[in-house]
Amino acid sequence: MKLPDGVKMTPMLKQYGEWKDKYPDCLLLFRMGDFFELFFDDAVIASEVLDIALTARDQDKAIPMAGVPHHALDSYLGRLVAAGYKVAMCDQVTEPDGKTLVERRVVRVVTRGTYVPQDAPGDGKLAAAALSGEQASIALLTVGTGLLEAGTFSKDEAMSLLFSFSPDELLIPRGQEADFDRNSRDLTPLQGVRPAIVPRERSDFSASFGSGWLCKRWGVASLRAMGIDDLDPASGVAASAVRYLEETQFGGSDHVHEIRPLMSDGMLILDNTTQTNLELLEGDGASLFTVLNRCKTPMGRRLLRDWISHPLSSLDVIAFRHDCIGVMAGNPSLLKKLAAVLAECRDMERALGRLSLKVGNPRDLGAVRDTLASLPGLREIVSSAESGPLSSIFDGVPDLSELTELLCGALSDDLPRSLGAGGVVRDGYDDALDDARDAIAHAEDNIRAFEQSERERTGIKLRVGINKVFGYYIELGRSYADKVPDDYVRRQTVSNGERFVNERLKEIERRVYRAERDIGEREEILYKDILARALENGASCQAASRAVAVLDVLRSLACVARDNSYIRPEMDESRIFSVKGARHPIVESTHGVSFTPNDIDLDPDECSDKGCIAIITGPNMAGKSTYLRTAALVALMAHIGSFVPAESAHIGLMDRIFTRVGARDELARGRSTFMVEMVETADILRHVTSRSLVILDELGRGTSTYDGMSIAWAVVEFLNLHVEGRTKALFATHYHELTNLSLPKLLNLSMAVEESESGIRFLHKVVSGPANRSYGVEVARLAGIPSIVVRRSEELLSEFESASSAEDREMEVMSKKYVQREIFFDVDREGVLEELAASDPNQMTPMAALDLVFRLREKSRRILGFK
């Protein structure tokens, strides 16, 4: 680090400069007593980001300086990391003695992907990826919990998985920056932040090196035991993520115990567009997660998000989840028992992660204790005869009773946030600690006894007290100045007299301070031993934590199913999609109104007489989009293993759900609304299979009528004729010409509308057959469009519908005819007409009628420009 001219190089600044040179790309937080200080450019940046005072260490202000208190470091760290900065923590590693320079060193580097806050949500999401031809290998590491998953997929599948994971930081091989910079926008949720892309050396992603390194780390002969081939590129990508964590956290990655395979053949694939369109996870409003979330534990909430974004295509696992939900939904007392015990569990998984990362505190260890203490109760509940398949949830979870007994017996009930605050280890756990505490507890008695004995010995009404600066003292009033005993040594002069000390008091003071020091040292030794024994059982604790999470999610889904009358779907290897009385789970739960159920009945099999591609027509606001999303969400929920909002459901396994709904542009990428629509449609047509479900809403509306209709027509033909075995699709459109297509297994549906003299009423019911009109003018009327515009629209619609040739539809001719009628679109004029039409001369007094005439005359003259 180059210092500004004229800056005096003190030993402390030299030490700071040495560490800053080693971490030039980081903001260096330099521990000085109770503060972490930043200097020079780092201080300027921190003062702006954190809105803290920028001071100076010297009179000439050549050394800018800014600091944050160490006890509040976590909140400041979060803001720096969120602003995109890496932070190197340079802490004191020796105690200050007032004589020599305190030794300091960087103990960890905090990045977006490795930051695990203490009191705020966030687990640190670190991903690694490498492209190879048309494939991509990815690794997903949740730093806070130690969960590591990896696999090799097609590029599109890999990007979908990365989108679901929403990494804070993405490690890639050098040379692939351009590819991932383009794709990183696809990894960003609409309300989210782009991941920080971190290029690393290509050798870090080597499969042969990575698998060997991981095997050595975990003490296994091959990664095949964990489901990953040693030569799979995913093993090298996974190793790069763990190595990065070790480098930044200085070895604090012991909670990453294994690698779990990500396998596309066991999952139903959701691309990022579908995940966004279906409002699966938290955003600005309601989502499928908010509907299904009745979880009692943070681990359960994390797992529920994972289940929603990673639905299954394995009938056995889906059936197991359905079995468990069925047992619980039918047994309210079982649900109540589980809820009571689960509420006592804390975030053990995350606590173990923080402790392994060396950023945890005694309360994190308390979270482990409290959760382990709840395990016997949960095991007892699920092992009862009424629990059925739930009894297998804790299979494979080792016996942790010994660790539970240790933590419950060793840790105090009310744990402090920091070890130095004392009171971490329970009384009665350690004799030496108890003796030291006893000495402190009796210190006051000893002082009072000493005070009394000194009064008797000297005949002086003295007082013994303690001062933070001078320690224990004997205070005498000024009137006793000539009676001070010879063994008293003056320590301090105060306004009312003098303060002294003697050898007996010094000895009492030494015993108290020695006891306080012994308590601190002994607690630290004991705590480290307890912590080490807990971390030795880290893998077992993580297994227990994940079993608790599974139980919590299943209980949550059972509660939702019971309270909302969800049913168990019948699932098999067929391709049928038949749902009676389907309801939209989000709309139903958030709008507080009765939801109109609808049927969905699709089957691509040739032997079936059902259709498989439905063209849905009808007016806007009648419920077409809700119907489409209902179908997609019911299918998704069934593949999660949840019950579904319907009267009955028969759903064959699906491999993908595609959605193309809504209208949005991507101006930052140079894409118009229509281009976005076409890109998403192209992705569907490239990857759709006979086991997919495709949802298309108003395809082609972003261009001219004939262009849009032509594209929509061709897409329907492709799905019907060019997908081997055909696929299942719901296609909502205003192109009524599509209802006349003559294609096999194509059916027409429409939204029912009730017409009357007063207008139309949407019934939100899907019926067979095409709609005979779009009712756009009626919808405009309902939206409050001025009546003069609505009436003119009706005239034009009548002319368009009665025209027999292109010449009759010539816009210019129709427009001139209208202008010649000298009728103008003027809201003020319409107001005059409406006020006149609303008046009733039979009910008006002569004065009121005269007043109306004058008022309307003034308005009319103003509209026509009369003076």
pLDDT in tens, 472-494: 898 998 888 888 898 999 988 88
765 falls in which pLDDT band (50, 70, 90)?
A: very high
In terms of pLDDT, which residue wins out, 764 or 193? 764
369 falls in which pLDDT band (50, 70, 90)?
A: very high
58 falls in which pLDDT band (50, 70, 90)?
A: low
Mean pLDDT of 552-576: 96
Q: Are 579 and 600 in contact (CB under 8 A)?
A: yes
Q: Does position 3 have pLDDT exceeding 80, yes or no?
A: no
Q: Does position 827 have pLDDT exceeding 80, yes or no?
A: no
Among 651, 656, 653, 641, CA closest to 582: 651
In terms of pLDDT, which residue wins out, 214 or 159? 214
Mean pLDDT of 441-466: 87
Mean pLDDT of 530-550: 94
pLDDT at 160: 82
pLDDT at 597: 94
Query: Under 8 Å CB-to-CB from 264, ≥6 apart: which residues?
Result: 151, 153, 157
DSSP state of 264: G
Mean pLDDT of 390-400: 92
Tell me the Ramachandran region of residue 471: left when phi exceeds 0, alpha when psi lies from -120 to 50, beta otherwise. left
214 falls in which pLDDT band (50, 70, 90)?
A: very high
Query: Under 8 Å CB-to-CB from 349, ≥6 apart: which residues?
Result: 144, 145, 146, 298, 299, 302, 542, 545, 546, 549
126 falls in which pLDDT band (50, 70, 90)?
A: very high
- 483 three-class SS: helix
Phi first, then psi: give them for residue 659, nearest 5 degrees: -135, 140
Burial 16-32 (b: 16+ CB within 10 A, else e): bbebbeebeebbbbbbb
Token pair of 65 as six digits: 């300086």
Mean pLDDT of 120-132: 87
pLDDT at 438: 85
In terms of pLDDT, which residue wins out, 598 or 13? 598
- Tens-digit pLDDT profile for residues 65-101: 999 998 888 889 989 998 989 999 999 988 887 778 8
Mean pLDDT of 22-35: 92
pLDDT at 212: 93
pLDDT at 808: 45
Proportion of the chain above pLDDT 90, given as a percent: 45
pLDDT at 478: 85
Least reliable range by pLDDT among 346-350, 732-736, 794-798: 794-798
Phi first, then psi: give them for residue 471, nearest 5 degrees: 80, -150
822 falls in which pLDDT band (50, 70, 90)?
A: very low
Least reliable range by pLDDT among 591-595, 661-665, 775-779: 661-665
If you compute the radius of gyration of the chain from its CA atoms, what whole number of angstroms results?
37
Mean pLDDT of 431-448: 85
Expressed in percent and rounded to 5, the helix, strand and coil fractions of the chain are 50, 20, 30
Q: Does position 667 have pLDDT exceeding 80, yes or no?
A: no
Q: Are 194 and 172 in contact (CB under 8 A)?
A: no
Q: Does position 824 have pLDDT exceeding 70, yes or no?
A: no
Terminal Cα distance for the chain, rounded: 79
pLDDT at 70: 86
Q: Does position 374 have pLDDT exceeding 90, yes or no?
A: yes
pLDDT at 809: 46
Q: What is the DSSP code string of 173-204? A: ETT-HHHHHHHHGGGS-TTS-PPEEEEE-GGG
In terms of pLDDT, which residue wins out, 377 or 800? 377
The amino acid present at 9, given as its one-letter code, is M
pLDDT at 828: 64
Instruction: State how far the alpha carbon of 728 is from the alpha carbons of 323, 575, 645, 654, 792, in Å.
Output: 28, 9, 20, 10, 41
Would you give the distance in Å from CA 521 to the centre of its chain?
Answer: 40
pLDDT at 826: 57
CA distance 599 to 611: 13
pLDDT at 509: 85
Q: Does position 543 have pLDDT exceeding 90, yes or no?
A: yes
The amino acid present at 88, given as its one-letter code, is A
Mean pLDDT of 184-195: 60
DSSP state of 411: B
The overall average pLDDT reported for the chain is: 86
Please provide the size of the chain in residues: 867
236 falls in which pLDDT band (50, 70, 90)?
A: very high
| Of the ranges 12-26, 387-401, 456-470, 555-569, the best mean pLDDT one | 555-569
867 falls in which pLDDT band (50, 70, 90)?
A: low
- The helix (H) or strand (E) run that includes residue 582 is strand 577-582
Mean pLDDT of 195-215: 92
pLDDT at 115: 92
Q: pTM to 2 decimals? A: 0.82
Describe the strand order of the beta sheet including 648-652 as a list of residue ranges. 570-572, 648-652, 577-582, 598-602
Proportion of the chain above pLDDT 70, given as a percent: 91
Cβ-in-10-Å burial (0-12, 13-18, 19+) of 208 comes to: exposed
Q: Does position 700 have pLDDT exceeding 70, yes or no?
A: yes
Q: Does position 801 have pLDDT exceeding 60, yes or no?
A: yes
- The helix (H) or strand (E) run that includes residue 557 is helix 538-564
pLDDT at 192: 57
pLDDT at 60: 65
pLDDT at 823: 47
